[in-house]
Each structure stands twice: as structure tokens, then as C-alpha cells.
Amino acid sequence: MGDSLRRAEVVAPYSPLTPSRTTLGDHCIKEPKMKMTFRWFGEQSDTVTLSQIKQIPGMSGLMGFLDYKAAGAVWEKDEIAAYIGPVHAAGLECEVIESVNVHEDIKMGIGRRDEYIENYKTTIRHLADAGVKVIVYNFMPVLDWLRTDLSRPIPEDGSESLYYDEAELKGLSPLELVRRTAADAKGFSLPGWEPERLSELEFTLKNYEGMTADKLRDNYRYFLDAIIPVCDECDVTMACHPDDPAWPIFGLPRIAGNMADLGKIIALNDSPRHALCLCSGSLGSNPENDIPAIIRRFGSMGRIACLHIRNVKHLGYRVFRESSHLSTDGDLDMYAIVKAMYDTCPNAYIRPDHGRMIWGEQARPGYGLYDRALGAAYLNGLWEAICKTP
Ligand code: DNO
């Protein structure tokens, strides 16, 4: 921030009368343009429509998702086409797909893992045929992202946001937490909380007993060794999403919570097809994580394929809420984050991440229209300012 203030002092003030400012080229943001995208759950499952997304300034496409697919199943060509067809018809791209979930057998290294890996390879080929360039996934055991309240009022303005208080987990079993989260979701499905996966929760948790971070990484390497050659063939990049929150939960190991963890993950396979989905909010759940530094490290290695950007407000030890995207509403410096992206991985895809519920909107927690649209506009504003700052 200090850097930006210093810059502001030396840059001449903008004047609408300065002729060079009124020519088309000078008004345009210089390349690279931000590849701004939006998560969309499909025509049957989203309260947000494609035409609304198209009307958000600067929106180039989606990070797509087939919310009904079970982990381990092949994403069939016709299913992918049914999702992507309307997206293209709305004038949006679909070069990123999220949450192609990895089956627990692969993470645990047991049972039918080779069969599920073959299915995953087929899915990669099918997505590549449909023009997909980046696949976002995670390697979190059993539970994806986790919150203890999906609609906690923010006292300052009456909006509602996702909230986490580790103390509230103490008396809860994972199953109780899953039931509570499902009840809290207002009837919407939540990405990462697919019922089929969670119905086997107790059995799966039992199987994870004795799992260590090193064993999990070994199984991860096995998975990558199998799928990365297919990515090379198809020109698709795999983007690993970090742990959220960024520490182990319910005694399950988690291996993607900080810079050192992500370094070990990247070292599992040398191909640039093995990359990260840098999620500022997930990593930002731990105030010790320096998000701009993490972006600079892996961005300059060419290992950030896409970014999920949102802000977090810490309210105590392992207590936080998801704030609006604005720097001053949370604890992350969004200017520094976008600047790190601009400097090291400007061609990565980006999307605003979870938004608050504002203006009376009823939608899937974290995935309404209004606050995410505000987030996208804000990120575009930061980008334009960075592009135009000499
Ligand atoms: C949460 C999302 C995650 C993410 C998956 C990727 O809202 O960011 O569900 O898409 O972890 O597999």
C-alpha cells in the first residue's frame, strides 16, 4: 500500500482535457486483459442467469461446474456439452472447469483407485475436447471447504456472510457438522458437499485412520504421474485448490495450507501442467499466510493457472468471516494481491469468490449475484489502475 501511495504522489493528476487521454488507445486497459470469470452451477441449479453474468462489466467467461457428478464418475461428452452450449450461446467462454472431484480411494491409495484414475483421464480428454484449458480440483481428505455458519449477519451493515469459529466444531462430530451445513444451505447444493460423498462419511473417516501427510502426498504423486501425461497430450492444466480453512480438520491430514505445503505439492511433478488454483480466502484463513508472497513465488514459476479472490476478516484465533472483497472490509490487501498477479501470472484466469448475501438476495450461500458482481468490478478497477500506473 505504501508503494501505491508513493506512486500516486509522482503520477501527474488526470485531466480530461489532456488530448492524449481522450484517444481510444489511452482509455483502454493495456494488455494483458484480466480473464475475469464467474462460477455458475448450470441452468437447473443456479439462481443467477447467464444473461445476468454477461452483463457484469468485464466478464469473459465462467468457471464451470457439473454439480451432480459423483467423484470418480466420468464426465460424459453430452453432459459437458449440455452445460457449455448455453454458456457459449450467451457469449461467454468456458475454459475453466471446477471441482472435478478426486475419489477418496485415490487419496487413500486403496480399492478401486486405478479404475477411478482411468475415469479421471477420460474426463480430462472429454473436457479438453470441449475447449476446457484448466481443471480445478483439490486433494483435501473427505471434507472440502468448511464453515460453521453459512449466513451469519455482519453487525456493521446487516448483510450475511459465511463464518467460521473453530470452537463451535469442538462438540460436533463430522456427521453432525455435515447435517448442520446441509440444513443451513437453504435447500441449495453446495460445491464440495456432494451428498453421495458425504453419505459414506463415517466409513470414509474410518478408512483415513493412520493416514499421514506424507502418505497422502505419495498417493497424490501417484495420481499426478498417471494423469499429467494426458494433460500434456490434451493441453489441459490441472489447478490444485488449497485447503479451506488452511489447517487439518477433525484429525484428517491436510497438505495444502501454506507456502511450504504448496511448494511440496508443486515438487510432486515437474510439468507446468501441474499448477495451482490460488485461493486468497482459503489461504487467508490463516493470518500467517502472506498471500501476495505466495502468488509471487508460484506465479513466477509459471505454476498458477487460476485464482479465486475474496477477502477474510479475522475476529479471533481461528474465528473469521468472509467479508466483502474490499481491502478495508477485511484483513487482506487486495491491491497487493492483484499487483502480485499482474506482475507474475497476468494471464491466469480469475474469479471473484464467495460473496455476502446483500440487498435481500436469496441464493446459494456464497454464490449470489450481487456481491460477487461487486467483487468483479472492484478487481477490474484495481487491474485498470495497476495497468495504467507507470
Ligand atoms: C468453494 C470452492 C471449492 C473449490 C474446490 C475445487 O467455494 O472454491 O469448492 O471449487 O475445492 O475442487
- Report residue 7's pLDDT band, with 50, 70 and 90 as the boundaries: very low
**Which atom in ligand 1 lies closest to the alpha carbon of residue 101?**
12
Centre of ligand 1 to C-alpha 58, Å, is 23
pLDDT in tens, 47-85: 999 999 999 999 999 999 998 999 999 999 999 999 999
Calculate how far, in angstroms, residue 191's C-alpha sits from the geometric centre of ligand 1.
6
Per the listing, cell 467467461 goes with: 61
CA of 367 to the centre of ligand 1 (A): 12
Domain with residue 26: its CATH number is 3.20.20.150
Residue 261, ligand 1, Cβ within 6 A: no
Q: How many angstroms separate the Cα of 179 from the Cα of each of 16, 197, 199? A: 57, 13, 10
Q: What is the mean pLDDT of residues 194-204?
A: 75
Q: Who wins on pLDDT, 33 or 333?
A: 333
Domain that holds residue 254: 3-387
Give distance in angstroms: CA of 145 to centre of ligand 1.
Answer: 7
Q: Which is the closest atom of ligand 1 to the Cα of 99?
A: 12
Q: Among residues 374, 312, 376, 298, which one has the least CA distance to residue 343?
A: 298
Does the beta carbon of 69 sit less than 6 angstroms from any atom of ligand 1?
no
The per-residue pLDDT for range 78-132, each reduced to its tens digit, is: 999 999 999 999 999 999 999 999 999 999 999 999 999 999 999 999 999 999 9
Kindly give the number of the ligand 1 atom that is closest to the alpha carbon of 39.
10
The C-alpha atoms of residue 163 and residue 145 are separated, in whole angstroms, by 12
pLDDT band of residue 185 (cuts 50, 70, 90) is confident
The pLDDT value recorded for residue 186 is: 83
The answer, as to whether pTM is greater than 0.85, is yes
Instruction: Say how far apart CA 124 and CA 120 lie, in whole Å.
Output: 6
Tell me the average pLDDT across 173-184.
Answer: 84
Contact 389, 213 (CB under 8 A): no
Counted domains in the chain = 1
Render pLDDT for 365-386 as a digit per residue (tens, 0 to 9).
999 999 999 999 999 999 999 9
